[in-house]
Amino acid sequence: MFLKSLKILTPTKVIRQIDFHMGLNLIVDESEGQITGNNVGKTTVLKLIDFCFGADKKIIYEDPEDKKQFYKLVKDYLVNNEVIISLEISENLYNENAKTYVIERNFLFRKRKILSIDGRKYTEDEFENRLVELFFPNHKSSKPTFKQIISHNIRYKDTSLNNTLKTLNEYTALEEYETLYLFLLGCNFTKGDDKQAILQKIKLETTFKNRLEKVQTKSAYEVALSIIDREIEKLQLKKANLNINDHFEKDLQKLNQVKYQLNSLSSQLSNLNLRKNLILKMQEELQSSASDIDFQQLRAIYNQVKVNLTDMQKSFEDMVQYHNQMIQEKANFISKELPVLSKEIENKGKVLNELLEKEVEYSKVISKSDSFETLEKIITELNEKFKNKGEYENTIHQIEEVENNLKAYNEELRLIDTELFSDEFEAKVKLQLNKFNRHFSYTSDLLYGEQYALKYDIETNKKGQKLYKFSAFNTNFSSGKKQGEISCFDIAYTLFADSENIPCMHFILNDKKELMHGNQLVKISELVNKEKIQFIASILKDKLPNDLNDEKYFTLKLSQKDKLFKIEENKNPWLPF
């Protein structure tokens, strides 16, 4: 498969169309003078192609050094203008009638989202499955994924620019690479995804087991459980031997009832005595008011009034007598309640004494048996022991369940490894590796005068799990040139896949090729043109060797005045997500 064209368009116009050709395709800048050629969109072209193959849309406008920042101007432009990215792929660039596929994506959401192949829309899961069906029709397993298979074809991230084989993200496990390179080498191993799934399950179960045994191991829990069982047995025996009478609860209830009645009656007596004392005090105050009158002063007032009111019929003595009678009547009225209160206080006092006797009686009955506090303490200890027993039993059960799961998963892994590391399968890996290395050494010798090769080692990790670990090396055992090694590998794989009739992409996308020496870039140009491979590279124009500073190699020319999306920058383009 070859890249035919990449279009950036809106529903009403084409913003930019990039047509690709066979051989070397350069994406360069035309910035003049001291103006930098960075940030004009060279790398973004590679990202747009990756986007069409299913990469996250955020790679187009996010800050690669800080994923929480995004280029607002670009994002708003892509969304507000409903920009569509259209990638056309062809089986043969020299044949106009060759089968082509058109992949289209936009940056909108939900119903406005476009994710289509040849006009048919897909969900994200369906999309990747469809890409596998189209370009790798014999691949029936879920691993490696489409993105993993073509990861060496599209290199613009630091990981893939600096590593020949480790083209996936930095957190990718070695078993993922094992499955990927066995597939790329044409080693028919259909259980790679099963192995990865099992290893993931083993990892999860092992992590869970480590957490369960973080405080103590399973054997320690078992010992602790046996000790708790003995302690529970002793406490239950102690409880059974307690001298608790059969009517303990009833006697305790009677005692509590008596205490309740005592409290209530004491409160009533207190209130009655308070009322009696108030009445006696009021009596005393009335009597005091009758005896403390100043009769001389009162007579002087009376005589003065009589001079002014000559018709007064009551004598002074009459008035004094009346006053004293009124006071006496009040005292008599108030005193009427005293006998009743006194009687009631007397009766309640008798009842109180009876209750006090009952309290003593019931307390003696209860005190003859072992104390309720002792029983309660034993029950509390038993509850705590049973609680710990339940926790330990549950932990032991979980550990045993995890161990059984690990045993089952390891057995499944053993059966897979029996096939994977059999003499027959390893012979197949060696055969395919030797075939690949013919192309790898040929390519590297042509470009660098050195010979690179791919090797594998069967490694056993700390968990005792075996895997094929692939690595590239210089057969002269010198340090080599990493950029050259990467390009040699990518070109060699295309040649190898064609010779083995393995479906592959016939394009190689590389960013920052100014890091490669100019002479090697010229040789790459000659090789890919000869072998009919597309080599698409972004590079600063002033780093181009003279032999390649030719329009026939230029697929796209950008500059600060003519950026990829043809939009202007603002002063503060980076904003947080």
Most confident of 47-56, 197-206, 245-254: 47-56
List pLDDT tens digits, range 227-243. 999 998 998 888 777 76
User: Tokens standing for 538?
Assistant: 């972004």
Please give the pLDDT value at position 334.
65
Q: How confident is the model at residue 108 (pLDDT cuts 50, 70, 90)?
A: very high
Please give the pLDDT value at position 513.
72
The distance in angstroms from the start CA to the end CA of the chain is 36
Most confident of 106-120, 329-343, 364-378: 106-120
Q: How confident is the model at residue 203 (pLDDT cuts 50, 70, 90)?
A: confident
CB neighbour class for 139 (10 Å; exposed up to 12, middle 13-18, buried from 19)? middle
For domain 421-502, the question of CATH label 2.60.40 is answered with: no
Q: How confident is the model at residue 575 (pLDDT cuts 50, 70, 90)?
A: very low
- Between 10-14, 389-393, 441-445, 482-486, the lowest mean confidence (pLDDT) is in 482-486
- Between CA 413 and CA 296 the distance in angstroms is 125
The residues facing 100 across adjacent strands are: 90
HSE of 85 in the Cβ direction (CA atoms, 13 Å)? 23
SS3 148: helix
- Between CA 474 and CA 12 the distance in angstroms is 53
CB distance 355 to 265 below 8 Å: yes
- Between CA 393 and CA 372 the distance in angstroms is 31
Please give the pLDDT value at position 473.
85
Average of per-residue pLDDT across 365-380: 71
- Between CA 285 and CA 279 the distance in angstroms is 10
6: number of Cβ within 10 Å: 21
Please give the pLDDT value at position 366.
67
Average of per-residue pLDDT across 395-402: 89
SS3 14: strand
Q: How confident is the model at residue 29 (pLDDT cuts 50, 70, 90)?
A: confident
Predicted TM-score (pTM) above 0.85: no
Most confident of 214-218, 448-452, 492-496: 492-496
- Between CA 162 and CA 152 the distance in angstroms is 12
Q: How confident is the model at residue 492 (pLDDT cuts 50, 70, 90)?
A: very high
CB distance 131 to 53 below 8 Å: yes
Q: How confident is the model at residue 313 (pLDDT cuts 50, 70, 90)?
A: low
List pLDDT tens digits, range 265-303. 787 777 777 767 777 777 777 666 654 555 566 667 666
3 state SS for 182-217: HHHCCCCCCCHHHHHHHHHHHHHHHHHHHHHCCCCC
- Between CA 69 and CA 123 the distance in angstroms is 27
Q: Provide the pairing of β-strand 466-474 with 452-460.
A: antiparallel
Average of per-residue pLDDT across 568-576: 49
- Between CA 412 and CA 288 the distance in angstroms is 109
Q: Residue 547 contacts by C-beta under 8 Å, 6 or more apart in sequence?
A: 522, 525
Average of per-residue pLDDT across 3-9: 96
SS3 238: helix
- Between CA 91 and CA 52 the distance in angstroms is 17
Q: What is the mean pLDDT of the chain?
A: 84
- Between CA 243 and CA 206 the distance in angstroms is 52
CA angle, 78 as apex, 75 and 82 as ends, to 5°?
145
Query: pLDDT higher for 194 or 504?
Result: 504
- Between CA 494 and CA 431 the distance in angstroms is 17
- Between CA 24 and CA 567 the distance in angstroms is 28
Query: pLDDT higher for 253 or 491?
Result: 491
Query: pLDDT higher for 279 or 574?
Result: 279
- Between CA 503 and CA 253 the distance in angstroms is 89
Q: How confident is the model at residue 480 (pLDDT cuts 50, 70, 90)?
A: very low
Average of per-residue pLDDT across 40-54: 94
Please give the pLDDT value at position 308.
65
Please give the pLDDT value at position 329.
66
- Between 108-122, 173-187, 329-343, 393-407, the lowest mean confidence (pLDDT) is in 329-343
Query: Above pLDDT 90, what percent of the chain?
Result: 37
Q: Provide the pairing of β-strand 100-106 with 66-71.
A: unpaired
Please give the pLDDT value at position 540.
84
CA proximity to 405, closest of 220, 193, 206: 206
The residues facing 507 across adjacent strands are: 534
Q: How confident is the model at residue 316 (pLDDT cuts 50, 70, 90)?
A: low
Tell me: pLDDT of 34 over 60: no
Q: How confident is the model at residue 318 (pLDDT cuts 50, 70, 90)?
A: low
Please give the pLDDT value at position 419.
86
List pLDDT tens digits, range 49-92. 999 999 999 999 988 777 778 888 899 999 999 999 999 999 99
CB distance 167 to 485 below 8 Å: no
Give me the DSSP letters along 375-415: HHHHHHHHHHHHHHHHHHHHHHHHHHHHHHHHHHHHHHHHH
3-state helix, strand, coil split of the chain in percent (to 5) is: 55, 15, 30
List pLDDT tens digits, range 171-190. 888 889 999 999 999 987 77
Query: pLDDT higher for 328 or 205?
Result: 205
CATH class entry, domain 1-162+503-577: alpha beta
- Between CA 3 and CA 533 the distance in angstroms is 10
- Between 105-119, 300-314, 336-350, 482-496, the lowest mean confidence (pLDDT) is in 300-314
Average of per-residue pLDDT across 505-511: 93
Average of per-residue pLDDT across 125-151: 92
